[in-house]
Amino acid sequence: MIVDIDTCTACGLCYEEVPEVFANRGDGLPIVYIKPFKEDTLQRLQKVAQDCPSGSIILE
């Protein structure tokens, strides 16, 4: 998973919807915790990537 910080609008959707993966790094932009994810977390990641207004969350 990648978050394109150059296109991110810092809306907060990612860390509000999936706080066990994303956090605010202090300036509104997200940091990502890389770790194994449970199936329900993966489904929520897919949804938040789809709903990201700037399309900055890229799942690989």
Per-residue pLDDT band at 12 (split at 50, 70, 90): very high
Q: What are the CA-CA distances from residue 22 to residues 14, 27, 28 (Å)?
A: 6, 13, 11
List Cα–Cα distances, 36 to 9, 27, 42, 52, in angstroms.
26, 26, 9, 22
| Predicted model pTM | 0.85
Q: What residue spans define the domains of the chain?
A: 1-38
For 36-57, the pLDDT digits (tens) are 878 889 899 999 999 999 999 9
Q: Do 56 and 7 touch, CB atoms closer than 8 A? A: yes
Query: What's the confidence (pLDDT) of residue 6?
Result: 96
What is the Cα Rg of the chain in Å?
10
